[in-house]
Amino acid sequence: MKFALTLFITLITFQTFSQSKTVTSIDDTKPFVLGVIDELYSKELGEKRILNIYLPEGYNKNDSIVYPVTYLLDGSADEDFIHVAGLYQFNSFEWVNRVPKSIVVGIATVDRRRDFTYPTTIEKDKKKYPTSGHSDQFIAFIEKELQPFIEKKYKANHSRTIIGQSLGGLLATEILLKKPALFNKYIIVSPSIWWDNGSLLDQDSPLIKSTFLQQTKVYIGVGKEGLAPTVLPRVMEVDANLLEEKIRHTKSKAVTVYLDYLPLEDHATISHQAISNGLKFIYSDIKN
């Protein structure tokens, strides 16, 4: 009887001790920090914007090293920021060496239709998306506020990349054609060129003139995507080809473009693979 009682007390004590250790272990956990969150009030947009920022390993605000900057559209934590920051981290490992250590600025989304589209002549889309058509303000925010803010506060050099997919790809294309000097590297994935029945493809551009001298690389990735959501039939793969053809016929010797067709990916799955391929292209001069 005494032996059974002793055994029972021992088991209860062990169980209590184990539970205590478990609670202590949970209390000792720490957050996993991937980057920093910054804020910028935009006069151009009339609102505060959240910036998720990945700083590369070894980043030190007090040393003399400066880094390329990538501006990521749809850069909220629950959108593309985490996996794109991971691509930059992995590809900048010394034993991989495909991408230089870089700062990634994820621009958190507020209203994609408002920020990423220019005015449309399609009445159905005007009614369906009443806030659309203000990409000019968002581009002004990038040019006049965001880039100066990042280059003043963080250790940035003059290498600027923009990454955009879908409507973000439409905005990146609009910047490429209208204000190509804002970035020298473009990763454009599944661009929604169908907007306003593809009118952006008719845009005259400094990029296609012999006077454009900035060395610029343009990657366009598109999957098996099919018909666009338009009244007049448009195929997204065809639009991507037309964009590549327009850029390829530039008279500038400073522009290089590559079209990457990924038939095993669709609009939902293409982003990660295309961005990875895009990084290989825009940094193809890096030697392993």
CATH annotation of 34-282: 3.40.50.1820
State residue 176 phi and psi, 5-degree precision: -55, -45
pLDDT tens digits, residue range 235-254?
999 999 999 999 999 999 99
* pLDDT tens-digit readout, 21-65: 455 556 789 888 889 999 999 999 999 999 999 999 999 999 999
Average pLDDT over residues 255-266: 97
Phi-psi bin for 187: left (phi > 0), alpha (psi -120 to 50), beta?
beta
The pLDDT confidence band at residue 191, using thresholds 50, 70 and 90, is very high
Q: Tokens standing for 117?
A: 């589209």
Q: Which residue has the tokens 């991408």?
A: 99
Where does residue 31 rank: exposed (0-12), middle (13-18), buried (19+ CB within 10 A)?
exposed
pLDDT tens, residue by residue, 131-180: 999 999 999 999 999 999 999 999 999 999 999 999 999 999 999 999 99
User: Cα(220)–Cα(223) distance, rounded to whole angstroms?
Assistant: 10
Each residue of 54-74: b (16+ CB within 10 Å) or e?
A: bbbeeeeeeeeeebbbbbbbb
Confidence band of 2 (pLDDT split at 50, 70, 90): very low
